[in-house]
Chains A and B, each alone.
Chain A
Amino acid sequence: MEKHATKQNLYRGITFALLFATWMVFSGLFDVFHLTLGVISCGFVTFLSSDLLFEDRSTPLKARLIQGVRLTGYGLWLIWQIVLANLHLLKLAFGSKSNLQPQIVRYESKLLRTDFAKFLLANSITLTPGTVTMKILGDTFYIHAISDIAAEGLDGEMERRIARVFADREKEGNQSQDS
């Protein structure tokens, strides 16, 4: 019971720190009056909804930090993919219409279990060249591909990268995730 309460307070502290950092960035005023207002409002929000931010608290903080670092690396790779996607789009937009072969293909996800990982995969597919996720039914992603090349590009490399980010958590297969 004692340990549970400490953990609760730890997450309260993290929530408060995040909120207060946001407050300082957005206000840009550092006199006593505005900082007091910030402490009061952030404290109030923390008191009301500190249990909203990190839904799954079974993962230790250290593992979470490692995941954050890996996620940043993935983000950088994703930004490169976005650049490629836009160049591809530019080519299609100004090129001949015969380059378009619209089609809807299936993609079976085998590695990802959690909702957050699936959300990340769907978003990443949308950001990469020529493909947009239309629907997710269970483990099956339905993807609208704008050309044959785009459809062939769905080889599961992205899924492996995402699975690597959540490597330790995916094994447990727990359903609830933080947002």
Chain B
Amino acid sequence: MIITIISMALVVGGLVFFLGASTGLIRFPDFYTRMHAAGKGDTLSSLLVLLGFAVYQLKDFQSFSENWLVLLVIVKLLGISAFILLTSPTSTHALMDAGWEDEVEPEIQKGRENHLNDDYPKF
């Protein structure tokens, strides 16, 4: 019972962050700020949802000798989490770099710097 509640809390928490990410994706002004929302929001929310699944696997856990196969599922889920943790920022970075190379103009706040355009001009 407690385990079900914990896993539900984790999954719902993940969904809240997913909601924030999608809202940001729609509301933010330009490509780069939207990538902030997509790249960051996805990481923690997927981690939380996967962690919730991993906790849920422990629901019928009675003894180690009977249910140790469940641990394999948990290891797999944690493996997916580690993979997302590594690849999500990398793909965000790759997309932003591609956007700059493809001359997508960033919206810079008035009075703030754009150092990349100083050193590696595109506009």
Residues of chain A at the chain B interface (Cβ within 8 Å): 25-26, 28, 82-83, 85-86, 89-90, 92-94, 97, 100-106, 122-124, 126-127, 130, 132-135, 137, 140, 142, 144, 146, 148
Contact = CB atoms under 8 A, between A and B. Distances in A.
25 contacts: A26-B76, A28-B69, A86-B45, A89-B41, A92-B28, A93-B27, A93-B41, A100-B33, A101-B112, A102-B107, A102-B108, A103-B109, A104-B108, A106-B115, A122-B93, A126-B40, A126-B92, A130-B36, A134-B32, A134-B100, A140-B119, A144-B32, A146-B33, A146-B36, A148-B112
A86 B76 contact: no
Interface in B45-77: 45, 47, 69, 72, 75-76
A122 B91 CA distance: 12
B100 A135 contact: yes
A104 B39 contact: no
Interface of B: 16-17, 20-21, 23-24, 27-30, 32-33, 35-37, 39-41, 43-45, 47, 69, 72, 75-76, 79, 86, 89-90, 92-93, 96-97, 100, 106-109, 112-117, 119-120
Contact of B40 (A25, A127, A133): A127
Nearest to B86: A123
A28 B96 contact: no
Nearest to B76: A25
A3 B11 CA distance: 52
Contacts of B96: 132-134, 144
B75 A25 contact: yes
B72 A123 contact: no
Cβ-closest 8 pairs across A and B: A103-B112, A93-B24, A126-B89, A90-B20, A101-B109, A142-B116, A86-B44, A106-B115
A97 B33 CA distance: 12
A72 to B, nearest CB: 11
A151 B14 CA distance: 27
A82 B44 CA distance: 7
Contact of A132 (B30, B39, B108, B109): B39
A144 B99 CA distance: 12
A143 to B, nearest CB: 9
A132 B91 CA distance: 11
Contacts of A123: 86, 89-90, 93
Contacts of A100: 28-29, 33, 109
B93 A93 contact: no
